[in-house]
């Protein structure tokens, strides 16, 4: 009789612990669904395939570096995340070339170390559409990591760079299922 009663008490405790564990797990999953995070996504536009997704915070910065098509000198464009948008903050290049600014209409124009630098552009971009090629050797730089975009897709691929806001649970699931 004592063994039966002891077994009944043990089963009751196990059921309570299981219920408690399931309850806490559901609260955690429910909470993760309501916590929103921002991430920067680079998409192969034609294939509608995510090439890179990085969690970002307000104030984070990134750069795009490429070779100018005519002058064959490096061009670096600097960006900042502000209020869920991409903000072009500056650019740096070594020689005047087609398509590169030649005056201070955009921001503070500086000549330093044989480079043309424009700072404080502060132009809001809802997204960046970027054609990536082996010729331009386009690179994306974020958190001291360099991603050679021209090696991540076929030559002349159109990329879209944008900021998205999704639930933390969706972000975790994307990371898990996309490797």
Q: Write the CB contacts of 171 (distance below 8 Å, at least 6 apart in sequence).
A: 37, 39, 55
pLDDT of amino acid 5: 62
Q: What is the pLDDT of residue 179?
A: 52
- For the entire predicted model, the pTM comes to 0.76
User: Hey, where are the domains in the chain?
Assistant: 1-34, 38-177
| Mean per-residue pLDDT pooled into runs of 10, the chain (179 residues) | 58 67 76 82 91 91 88 88 92 69 67 82 93 93 94 92 87 70
Predicted pLDDT at 101: 56
The reported pLDDT for the residue numbered 115 is: 82
> In the prediction, which pLDDT does 174 show?
72
pLDDT score, position 143: 92
């Amino acid at each position: 009789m004592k063994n039966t009663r002891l077994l009944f008490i043990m089963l009751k405790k196990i059921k309570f612990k299981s219920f408690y564990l399931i309850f806490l797990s559901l609260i955690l999953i429910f909470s993760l669904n309501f916590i929103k995070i921002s991430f920067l996504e680079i998409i192969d536009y034609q294939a509608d395939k995510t090439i890179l997704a990085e969690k970002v915070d307000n104030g984070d910065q990134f750069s795009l570096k490429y070779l100018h098509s005519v002058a064959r000198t490096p061009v670096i464009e600097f960006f900042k995340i502000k209020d869920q948008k991409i903000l072009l903050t500056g650019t740096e290049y070594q020689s005047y070339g087609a398509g590169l600014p030649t005056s201070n209409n955009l921001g503070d124009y500086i000549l330093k170390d044989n480079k043309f630098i424009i700072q404080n552009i502060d132009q809001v971009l809802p997204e960046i559409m970027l054609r990536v090629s082996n010729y331009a050797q386009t690179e994306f730089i974020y958190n001291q990591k360099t991603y050679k975009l021209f090696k991540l897709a076929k030559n002349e691929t159109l990329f879209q760079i944008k900021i998205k806001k999704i639930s933390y649970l969706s972000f975790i699931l994307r990371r898990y299922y996309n490797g």
